[in-house]
């Protein structure tokens, strides 16, 4: 059942989406570039939050999936030029999902810091393997030459965002959404209540894996030339986590309100202090975890609760 409040929200989101979709027609190139970055992170951060938010399984493997997606596009264009472009996105998503399935089967028995470290190590491992393969084949990187511009890339990311939001919304309002929160609170209780936590975690972990791979596939043409250090940069995995925490994982829209300010500030820093970005990323991480552990969502929900209880009880 869909409530009237939800229909109203859908209408609001629809209008907002239509507005931002017109950005390429009125925005300057600079803002379109920023728009691509925001939309790409919105998809990756939100899908990351769908799994890691409620379960508290912090994954640092976004870069691994993203890189595999980028290489799918690059290799597809190079070796299978007859394949339509969109099939590469589907293949990338499928590869990301299968990879997440394999990773999930081996790692989701780990918990806490062991899971975090394993996912980080995994991304690094895949980067090293791809680097080794490239050296072995005698190539340094791959050209990704298409006629896709920022405009087309931007629209593709908006489409991916819509898909991620719909999936996230369906999960949140289903039994699965509650099961994920139970796993995050106390996995032992989850199992004793009849939740097949191992299977659920593996299945849900496939979502951020597939989305990050599709994001990599969509973004590859923008780079024109990709190499392992670029496609598998560990920085990406950390950026996704920081933006998710900044926005707050308690609500689906948390990702977006973390991504927008972060990307804008990041761009400003990258221009004025290009050599200190990693340092400042670390500082931002500490500040967010220490001062706003529940992110902007937490602040907004607290504020609303206070306003409502003030209104009712005085």
Partner 1 sequence: MSATHNLLTLDSITKRFGGLVAVNTLSFEVESKSVHGLIGPNGSGKSTTLNLLSGALALSSGEITLDHSRLTNLSAHQISKLGISRTFQLVRLLPSLTVAENVMVGGLFGHRPYGFRDADRAVSAVLDRVGLGGKGGLMPGQLTYIDTKRVELARALISQPRVLLLDEWLAGLNPTELEAGIALIASLREECEAIIVVEHVMEAIRSLCDRCVVMASGSKIAEGDVETVLNQPAVIEAYLGGDDD
Among 181, 233, 234, 298, binds partner 1 (CB under 8 A): 181
Residue 220 lies near partner 1 (rule: CB under 8 A): no
Residue 298 lies near partner 1 (rule: CB under 8 A): no
User: What residues contact residue 83 under an 8 Å CB cut-off, 6+ apart?
Assistant: 76
Residue 300 lies near partner 1 (rule: CB under 8 A): no
Residue 184 lies near partner 1 (rule: CB under 8 A): yes
DSSP state string for 187-232:
HHHHHHTT--HHHHHHHHHHHHHHHHHHHHHHHHHHHSEE-HHHHT
- The tokens describing 113, both together, are 């810091």
Residue 313 lies near partner 1 (rule: CB under 8 A): no
Which residue lies nearer to partner 1 by CB, 122 or 182?
Answer: 182
Task: Work out how close the CB of 312 gets to partner 1 at its nearest, in angstroms, rounded to a whole number.
Answer: 13
Kind and range of the H or E element at 130? Answer: helix 113-137
User: What residues contact residue 169 under an 8 Å CB cut-off, 6+ apart?
Assistant: 252
DSSP state at residue 48 = H
Task: Work out how close the CB of 305 gets to partner 1 at its nearest, in angstroms, rounded to a whole number.
Answer: 12
Sign of CA dihedral 283, 284, 285, 291: positive
Which residue lies nearer to partner 1 by CB, 190 or 210?
Answer: 190
Instruction: Report phi then psi at 293, rounded to 5.
Output: -60, -25
Among 6, 29, 78, 186, binds partner 1 (CB under 8 A): 186
Residue 191 CB-density burial (10 A; 0-12 exposed, 13-18 middle, 19+ buried): middle
Among 182, 219, 242, 244, binds partner 1 (CB under 8 A): 182
Give the separation between CA 219 and CA 288, rounded to whole angstroms: 28
Contact criterion met (CB below 8 Å) for 87 and 146: no
Neighbour tally for 116: CB within 10 Å = 17
Residue 6 lies near partner 1 (rule: CB under 8 A): no
Among 15-23, 188-196, 205-213, 256-264, which window interacts with partner 1 (CB under 8 A)? Answer: 188-196
Residue 191 lies near partner 1 (rule: CB under 8 A): yes
Q: Which 141-180 residues touch partner 1, going by CB under 8 A?
A: 175, 178-179
Task: Work out how close the CB of 180 gets to partner 1 at its nearest, in angstroms, rounded to a whole number.
Answer: 11
Contact criterion met (CB below 8 Å) for 23 and 15: no
Residue 82 lies near partner 1 (rule: CB under 8 A): no
Residue 189 lies near partner 1 (rule: CB under 8 A): yes
Kind and range of the H or E element at 58? Answer: none
Task: Work out how close the CB of 178 gets to partner 1 at its nearest, in angstroms, rounded to a whole number.
Answer: 7
Which residue lies nearer to partner 1 by CB, 1 or 18?
Answer: 1
Lay out the site mask for partner 1 across 221-260 (x = CB under 8 A, - = otherwise): ----------------------------------------
Give the separation between CA 49 and CA 195, rounded to whole angstroms: 20
Which residues here bind partner 1, judged by CB under 8 A? 175, 178-179, 181-182, 184-186, 188-197
């Amino acid at each position: 059942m869909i409530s009237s409040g939800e229909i109203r929200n859908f209408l609001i989101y629809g209008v907002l989406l239509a507005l931002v979709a017109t950005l390429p027609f009125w925005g300057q190139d600079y803002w379109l570039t920023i728009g691509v970055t925001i939309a790409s992170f919105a998809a990756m951060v939100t899908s990351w939050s769908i799994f890691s938010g409620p379960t508290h399984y912090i994954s640092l493997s976004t870069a691994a999936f993203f890189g595999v997606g980028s290489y799918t596009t690059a290799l597809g264009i190079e070796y299978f030029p007859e394949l339509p472009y969109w099939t590469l996105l589907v293949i990338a998503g499928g590869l990301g999902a299968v990879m997440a399935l394999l990773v999930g089967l081996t790692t989701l028995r780990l918990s806490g810091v062991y899971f975090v470290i394993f996912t980080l190590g995994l991304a690094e491992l895949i980067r090293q393997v791809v680097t080794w393969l490239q050296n072995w084949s005698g190539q340094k990187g791959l050209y990704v030459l298409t006629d896709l511009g920022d405009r087309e890339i931007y629209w593709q990311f908006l489409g991916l965002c819509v898909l991620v939001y719909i999936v996230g919304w369906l999960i949140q309002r289903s039994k699965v959404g509650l099961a994920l929160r139970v796993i995050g609170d106390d996995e032992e209780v989850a199992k004793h209540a009849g939740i097949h936590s191992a299977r659920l975690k593996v299945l849900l972990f496939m979502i951020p894996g597939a989305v990050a791979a599709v994001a990599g596939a969509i973004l590859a043409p923008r780079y024109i030339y990709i190499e392992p250090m670029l496609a598998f940069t560990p920085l990406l995995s950390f950026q996704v986590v920081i933006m998710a925490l900044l926005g707050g994982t308690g609500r689906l829209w948390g990702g977006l309100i973390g991504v927008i300010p972060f990307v804008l500030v990041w761009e400003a820093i990258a221009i004025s202090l290009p050599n200190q970005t990693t340092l400042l990323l670390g500082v931002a991480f500490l500040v967010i975890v220490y001062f706003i552990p529940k992110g902007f969502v937490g602040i907004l929900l607290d504020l609303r609760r206070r306003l409502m209880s003030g209104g009712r009880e005085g």
